[in-house]
Amino acid sequence: MLGITNPWTYVLGTVAIVLLPGPNSLYVLSVAVRRGVRDGYRGAAGVWLGDAVLMTLSAGGVASLLHTYSWLFNVVKYAGAAYLAYIGVRLVIDTVRRFRRPPAEPQATPPPDRPFRRALVISLLNPKAILFFVSFFIQFVDPAYPHPAVSFLILGAIVEILSVLYLTVLIFGGRFLADQFRSRRRLAAGLSTTVGGVFLAFSVKLATASIS
């Protein structure tokens, strides 16, 4: 069908991969909790653009390039791991600073976080996403189909639609959590610190990822 082999297998596999917790979804959730729905969608937009770029590169043959030159994948892998570690450390430090502030002290307006740009970088340097588009995404394109661009476009649209639905749930779920934690400073601080720790764990895990 339009150069796509086993379409339902692809849909089910993509649903499973999208639902699997990763740095993209975790960052969008953390932004929604800390800054609200609007910034949550800004972060989500960065993820969607990053995925679109990776899909385009995969369709353009970058997958074979990464397989041929493993050092290139390692550069992206370690850069992504370092950036995730930086995000995790920043979350922990910001949480400690907020928790040390006396409860009666007025809450200052959070500084600009640039969620779109930060989510875009996380997405582009995320080995989990790269491995998906390199090792899974391209398997469902029939090489004999005369218009492979159409196949890639349909497969990419499926990914983006599922991602929009999933991240929307996370954004509004994050807003609900923020409302619940507003009067529970210790619980909110514990959650934010845990998220920072998870980012550090992601950085270690992604640093050991393999393209083979």
- Predicted pLDDT of residue 108: 47
Give residue limits of the domains in the chain.
7-105+115-207
Q: What's the pLDDT at 98?
A: 62
| pLDDT for 206 beyond 80 | no
Residue 127 has pLDDT above 80, yes or no: no
Return the number of other C-beta atoms located less than 10 Å from residue 88's C-beta: 22
R_g of the chain computed on alpha carbons: 19
pLDDT of 102 > 70? The answer is no
Task: Give me the residues paired with residue 4 across strands.
Answer: 141
Least confident piece of the model among 54-63, 94-103, 124-133, 195-204: 94-103
Q: Summarize pLDDT for 8-20 with one digit per residue, the tens.
A: 888 888 887 788 7
Distance of alpha carbon 33 from alpha carbon 58, whole angstroms: 33
pLDDT digits (tens, 9 = 90+) for 147-174: 877 888 888 899 899 999 999 998 998 7
Angle at 110 between CA 173 and CA 28, to 5 degrees: 30
**What pTM did the predictor assign?**
0.73
**Percent of the chain's residues with pLDDT above 90:** 13
Report, as an integer, the average pLDDT of 132-136.
71
